[in-house]
C-alpha cells in the first residue's frame, strides 16, 4: 500500500425526515441562499421541507441550475450573492446543483482574475463561502467530496476542479427524496457509482491494498444487487438507502487512498458531454467497456477479481475471463437502462475525430500509468461504435 494522508470533513446527516436538521447546522443569523435545479424539488415536497426547516432565517433562492451545470449560470449566482450579502449556501438537488454551488462559493471570493481560471488553469482558491447540501440523486458523490465539474457552453468545454475549501460543511441524505427519480436518472446514478469505483479499483498495481479492494467489491456488489430493485420498486426505503450510502462512499476519497487511480473513462466521457450533451453516465457506459478491452493486459488481475467477486465469473483462460467480465458489465449497464454504444446516441466517426482532436490539443496522457494517449483513445472509441 502506498503512503497517504487524508481527511474528509463532511458531516453526514442520514435518514428519513432528516431535512429539518439543517437548522442545527447553519448559524441562525446567516443569510441563506438556496440553490436548486429545474424544479423537481418543488414537485416532490423537498423544497417545502427545506423552507420549513429554515423558517426564521433570511432566505433567498436561485433556481435553474442545469444538468451539467453551466459556468454562465453560476456567474449569475455570484452576482446574487454579492447583491444580497449572502453568508451561507444550501445546494438542494443532484450532483449538478452541488457542483455548481462548489464553483459559486469559490468564485464569489476569487479576486485574482477571471474565475474561469479556476477550471481552465487550476488557479488557486484562497477562500470560499460555507455551504451544505440536501442530496436528491445518489450518483456523483459530490455531497461528500471536494470536486466539481462545470461546463462552459459558449466554448463547449467541460472541466473540473477540486479544493479542500469546497467540501460541504454537511450533507443531508434522506433516501425518501429519491423516490421520485425518473428511471433514466436511477440508471445514470447506478452507472456513475459503478464507474467511480472501477476508476479506483480496476487499476494496474503491483502492491497490495486488500482492504480498499474488499470495500470496493462490497460497494459494487451492493449496487449490482440493489440497482435493478430501485427500478422495479421505487419506494423501497432500504434499497434507496443502500444506493444512496454506496454512491457517497464510492467517491468520498477514503477507499481510493493507498493505490493508483485511473479516471480515463471520466475524462474521455466529459468530452462527449461537452460536444454532444450526453448524460454523464451515458458517456461512462459507452467508454468503460472500451477501456477494459484495450487496457486488459495491465488491468487483468483486477478484471479477473471484478468478474469473480462481483459477477461470479470463473474461467480458466485469460481471454474468456476478460470477454465474460466485459460482457457482464455491459449487460448490467443495459439492465439499468443505460445504452453502451456511440451509435445508440446517434454518434459515430465524427464524434471520435472530434474527441481525439481535443485530446491531442490537451496532450493528456490518461490512465493510472499515463499510457492512454490520443491514439489509444481512438482505439477505445472505435471499439465502442
Using CB under 6 A, list all residues that contact ligand NZQ: 37-41, 44, 67-68, 93-97, 99, 136-137, 139-142, 145, 147-149, 177-178, 180-181, 185, 188, 192, 251, 266, 280
CA dist 203 → 206, 208, 300 (Å): 10, 12, 9
Residue 65 Cβ, how far from ligand NZQ at the closest point, in Å?
7
- Helices 374-383, 349-362: inter-axial angle, 10-degree rounding: 160
Burial bucket for residue 179 (CB in 10 Å: 0-12, 13-18, 19+): middle
Toward ligand NZQ, which CB reaches closer, 49 or 142? 142
Residue 146 Cβ, how far from ligand NZQ at the closest point, in Å?
8
Question: In angstroms, how far is CA 4 from the centroid of its own chain?
Answer: 23
Contact 285, 340 (CB under 8 A): yes
Look at residues 175, 174, 172, 173 and name the one whose alpha carbon lies nearest to residue 235: 175
Residue 192 binds to Zn ion (criterion: CB under 5 A):
yes
Toward ligand NZQ, which CB reaches closer, 181 or 294? 181
Residue 254 Cβ, how far from ligand NZQ at the closest point, in Å?
14
Toward Zn ion, which CB reaches closer, 266 or 299? 266
For residues 36 and 320, what is the distance between their CA atoms, to the nearest angstrom? 47
For residues 223 and 37, what is the distance between their CA atoms, to the nearest angstrom? 26
Contact 29, 4 (CB under 8 A): no
For residues 79 and 230, what is the distance between their CA atoms, to the nearest angstrom? 39
For residues 299 and 309, what is the distance between their CA atoms, to the nearest angstrom? 15
- HSE, side-chain direction, 13 A CA sphere, residue 204: 14
Residue 304 Cβ, how far from ligand NZQ at the closest point, in Å?
25
The residue nearest Zn ion at its CB is: 192
Toward ligand NZQ, which CB reaches closer, 280 or 384? 280
Lookup: cell for 213: 479492494
**Residue span binding Zn ion (CB under 5 A) among the ranges 40-48, 129-137, 189-197, 362-370:** 189-197
Residue 292 Cβ, how far from ligand NZQ at the closest point, in Å?
18
Residue 313 Cβ, how far from ligand NZQ at the closest point, in Å?
26
**Residue span binding Zn ion (CB under 5 A) among the ranges 115-123, 145-153, 188-196, 286-294:** 188-196
CA dist 134 → 3, 9, 35, 311 (Å): 33, 16, 10, 33
Toward ligand NZQ, which CB reaches closer, 36 or 311? 36
Selection from ligand NZQ, Zn ion, none that 181 binds (CB < 5 to 8 A by kind) is ligand NZQ
Contact 182, 43 (CB under 8 A): no
Q: Could you give the angle at the alpha carbon of 365 between the alpha carbons of 364 and 368, nearest 5°?
A: 135
Toward Zn ion, which CB reaches closer, 192 or 279? 192
Q: What is the DSSP letter of 310?
A: I
Toward ligand NZQ, which CB reaches closer, 99 or 213? 99
Toward ligand NZQ, which CB reaches closer, 95 or 367? 95
Residue 293 Cβ, how far from Zn ion at the closest point, in Å?
20
Residue 112 Cβ, how far from ligand NZQ at the closest point, in Å?
23
Selection from Zn ion, ligand NZQ, none that 157 binds (CB < 5 to 8 A by kind) is none
Lookup: cell for 154: 459558449
Local structure of 35: helix, strand or coil: strand
- Find cell 450518483 and name the residue: 139
Toward Zn ion, which CB reaches closer, 54 or 197? 197
Residue 280 Cβ, how far from ligand NZQ at the closest point, in Å?
4
Residues binding Zn ion: what is the number (CB under 5 A)?
A: 1
**Residue span binding Zn ion (CB under 5 A) among the ranges 184-192, 227-235, 236-244, 343-351:** 184-192
Selection from Zn ion, ligand NZQ, none that 39 binds (CB < 5 to 8 A by kind) is ligand NZQ
User: Residues interacting with Zn ion, by CB under 5 A?
Assistant: 192
Amino acid at each position: 500500500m502506498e503512503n497517504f494522508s487524508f481527511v474528509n470533513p463532511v458531516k453526514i446527516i442520514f435518514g428519513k425526515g432528516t431535512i429539518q436538521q439543517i437548522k442545527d447546522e447553519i448559524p441562525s443569523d446567516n443569510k441563506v441562499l438556496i440553490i436548486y435545479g429545474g424544479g423537481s424539488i418543488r414537485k416532490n415536497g423537498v423544497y417545502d421541507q427545506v423552507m420549513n426547516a429554515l423558517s426564521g432565517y433570511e432566505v433567498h433562492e436561485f433556481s435553474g441550475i442545469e444538468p451539467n451545470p453551466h459556468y454562465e449560470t453560476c456567474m449569475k449566482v455570484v452576482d446574487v450573492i454579492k447583491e444580497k450579502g449572502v453568508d451561507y449556501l444550501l445546494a438542494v438537488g443532484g450532483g449538478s446543483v452541488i457542483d455548481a454551488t462548489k464553483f459559486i462559493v469559490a468564485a464569489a471570493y476569487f479576486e485574482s482574475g477571471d474565475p474561469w481560471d479556476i477550471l481552465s488553469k487550476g488557479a488557486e482558491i484562497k477562500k470560499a463561502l460555507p455551504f451544505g447540501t440536501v442530496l436528491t440523486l445518489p450518483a456523483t458523490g459530490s455531497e461528500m467530496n471536494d470536486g466539481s465539474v462545470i461546463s462552459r457552453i459558449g466554448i463547449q468545454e467541460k472541466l473540473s476542479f477540486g479544493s479542500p475549501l469546497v467540501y460541504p460543511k454537511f450533507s443531508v441524505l434522506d433516501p425518501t427524496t429519491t423516490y421520485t427519480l425518473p428511471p433514466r436518472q436511477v440508471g445514470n446514478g447506478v452507472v456513475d457509482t459503478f464507474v467511480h469505483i472501477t476508476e479506483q479499483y480496476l487499476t494496474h498495481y503491483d502492491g497490495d491494498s486488500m482492504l480498499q479492494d474488499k470495500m470496493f467489491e462490497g460497494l459494487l456488489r451492493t449496487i449490482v444487487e440493489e440497482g435493478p430493485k430501485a427500478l422495479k420498486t421505487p419506494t423501497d426505503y432500504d434499497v434507496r438507502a443502500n444506493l444512496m450510502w454506496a454512491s457517497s462512499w464510492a467517491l468520498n476519497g477514503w477507499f481510493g487512498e493507498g493505490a493508483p487511480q485511473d479516471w480515463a473513462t471520466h475524462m474521455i466521457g466529459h468530452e462527449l458531454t461537452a460536444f454532444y450533451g450526453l448524460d454523464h453516465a451515458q458517456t461512462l457506459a459507452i467508454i468503460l467497456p472500451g477501456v477494459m478491452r484495450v487496457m486488459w493486459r495491465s488491468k487483468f488481475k483486477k478484471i479477473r477479481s471484478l468478474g469473480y467477486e462481483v459477477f461470479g465469473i470463473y474461467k480458466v483462460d485469460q481471454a474468456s475471463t476478460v470477454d465474460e467480465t466485459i460482457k457482464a458489465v455491459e449487460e448490467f449497464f443495459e439492465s439499468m437502462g443505460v445504452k453502451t454504444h456511440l451509435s445508440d446516441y446517434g454518434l459515430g466517426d465524427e464524434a471520435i475525430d472530434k474527441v481525439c482532436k481535443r485530446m491531442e490539443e490537451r496532450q493528456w496522457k490518461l490512465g493510472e500509468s499515463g499510457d492512454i494517449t490520443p491514439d489509444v483513445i481512438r482505439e477505445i472509441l472505435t471499439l465502442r461504435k
